[in-house]
Chains A and B, each alone.
Chain A
Amino acid sequence: MGNSVLVFAEVKDGRVKKVALEMLSEGKKMAEKLGGDLSAVLMGSGIESLAEQLGQYGADKVYVADNEVLKDYTCDAYAKVMADLIKANEPAIVLYGATILGKDLSPRVAARVETGLASDCTDIGLDDDGKFTATRPMFAGKAYVDLSFTDSKPNMASVRPNALPVSPPDESKKAEVVKVDVNISPDDIRTTVKEVMKTAGEKPDLTEAEVIVSGGRGMKGPENFKLIEDLADVLGATVGASRAAVDAGWRTVDDQVGQTGKVVSPNLYIACGISGAIQHLAGMSTSKYIVAVNKDSEAPIFQKADYGIVDDLLKVVPVLTEEIKKLKAEG
């Protein structure tokens, strides 16, 4: 078995996802410790030019599987390319972003190469003996586990977006591009994508957003979400909602943050009129900074928050929006 680190670099709308750069940054450190190189995998159609960016973020080698059959993601095709690549190159560690796609792909690859996978990790690293370890929340974030791996190789993990910092790129660095032969017959793909339905707007998806402004029961009605949207616009944030707001029919289930909705870990999470029920906290407690605005000073959300205002959000939020707008204008 080798001592290299392999990162699956997910592409969306012609761009490499930020989570891939996060994993390259951490992967670089691990590869150096292990004395191996850092590789990345690109899959899709017409994506070869993206290899340059991966090189700047630390990849020594980029495997490019560029083929029409990989244009739309199918688990069968991607898993086959990935599993073949792992079998041929025997990396020590393989990393995936814990995105919807990454969570779909990684267990399948794990089964095919018969190895273990730690999913939805909030931290990864090597211990003093150079053994790969992963940290992941469980029981809705009420507990965390540190995992190591047995002798099965490679060690694989999917890592939550925004969990790891990105190191600055080195623009002089170039990766070696290795073209991958894609040998996929139609029989290999047993699921067919008949239609692609887009329901989300232009804003980053909640699971990958760096700033989120969420509203809960305290919003009192769907019309007041305009206040949240205005604040989100000023911050370049994505709008979320608590289960209470979704159950009330004020927002769609796509916006729901929580254990039964989306699990998010932005840099900044602003909770407006959200009391902080367990199942909501499970979905956002790994956010780096949390701000809470709630009338009830006893609301559990304040135990998780870094900053809080105890007042009526309908009054606070518009002022906050204006103040932030001013600060942003000052630069």
Chain B
Amino acid sequence: MNIIVCIKQVPDPEIPPVKFQIDPEGKKVIPPDGVTPVISVFDERAVEAALKLKDKYKAKVTALTLGPDSAKAVIRHALAMGVDAGVHIQYEAAGELDSFGTAHVLMKAIEKIGDYSLVLCGRQAADWDAGQVGLLIAENLGIPVVTVAKKVDLQDDKLRVESVIQDGYHVMEVSMPALVTVSSEIGLSRLPTGIGIVKAARVKIENLSVEDIGADIPEARCTELIKLYVPVRDIQCQIIEADTVQESAEELAVRLREAKII
């Protein structure tokens, strides 16, 4: 079976807020100096889900990314984890696309790669946190989709996916081709090995432009960004100090009651 995993390069979500800066005029995030961008955490879990299938069954896994030149680093990362091939749709202005534009380009890329049984995406990207692209790709391709997967397996010729719901999970059966979005419940991702890194360096990443795959970057976007800003929480924490634990806990309870919070 052929599996395509869509991955995205994002600014490291772990950077402290002091290093996080935006350009309010340009409505853009300023990439922090000296902090290497990373593969979005849920996408890394999607790679892991693909590799788990590859470990168990025969599968060829292709990592696909859309982004500027730097984005090929996430393909290298996926290759070092163990995927077989990489496709990079190079588009410097990828950051300006909304979910619909991104999904359109990725759909075209998936069609270009062709012959797939399963497309995996992360539950959401760790920068915009919108969680739309996977579902939109599936709808564009006209294939079924299951979101927020904690386990992906095969049973006979169908997919068996455990999908997280509010108070537990659904066991879903889906025929292929299908798209599944993967959540962190799938388990930790494997680390690239030394041999993996050496092997990955030898793989030639297929580099394509949006024209190569016949994608029309949609002119009219569905949503427009009016303002980008850093939230200010102008609350000073009331630290409750007292001589004994008993007194401070009592005081806290009273203050919460007075403020009608409890």
Contact = CB atoms under 8 A, between A and B. Distances in A.
Interface in B233-247: 233, 235, 237-241, 245-246
Contact of B238 (A253, A278, A307): A307
A133 B224 CA distance: 10
Contact of A150 (B103, B220, B233): B220
Contacts of A311: 245, 248
Interface stretch (A34-42, A85-93, A196-204): A196-204
Contact of A308 (B240, B249, B256): B240
B222 A115 contact: yes
Given A138-B129, A303-B237, A309-B240, A143 B253 contact: no
Contacts of B29: 139, 143
Contacts of B261: 267-268, 289
Contacts of A217: none
B130 interface: yes
A104 B185 CA distance: 17
Contacts of B184: 253, 260-261
A232 to B, nearest CB: 12
B237 A305 contact: yes
Given A137-B129, A197-B169, A308-B238, 12 more contacts: A108-B139, A191-B173, A194-B171, A194-B172, A260-B184, A268-B256, A319-B249, A320-B249, A320-B252, A323-B250, A324-B256, A327-B253
A319 B251 CA distance: 11
Contacts of B173: 191-192, 194
Contacts of B164: 100
Interface string B160-186: 101011111111111100100000110
Contacts of B93: none
B255 interface: yes
B255 to A, nearest CB: 6
Nearest to B103: A111
Contacts of A205: 166-167
7 contacts: A108-B135, A146-B229, A282-B13, A303-B233, A305-B237, A319-B245, A326-B253
Contact of A259 (B13, B99, B241, B248): B13
B113 interface: no
Given A99-B166, A116-B98, A309 B252 contact: yes
B226 A148 contact: yes
Nearest to A252: B185
A139 to B, nearest CB: 6
Interface residues of B, number: 83
Given A117-B99, A323-B249, A192 B172 contact: yes
Interface of B: 11, 13-17, 20, 22, 27, 29, 41-42, 98-100, 103, 126-132, 135-136, 138-140, 144-148, 160, 162, 164-175, 178, 184-185, 220-231, 233, 235, 237-241, 245-246, 248-250, 252-257, 259, 261-262
B237 A307 contact: yes
A195 B171 contact: yes
Given A111-B135, A148-B223, A205-B167, A143 B237 contact: no
A111 to B, nearest CB: 4
B185 to A, nearest CB: 5
Contacts of B238: 306-308
Contacts of B127: 138-139
A279 B135 contact: no
Contacts of A200: 166-168
Contacts of A103: 131, 147
Interface string A100-119: 11011001101110011111
A100 B99 contact: no
A70 interface: no
Contacts of A111: 103, 135-136, 139-140
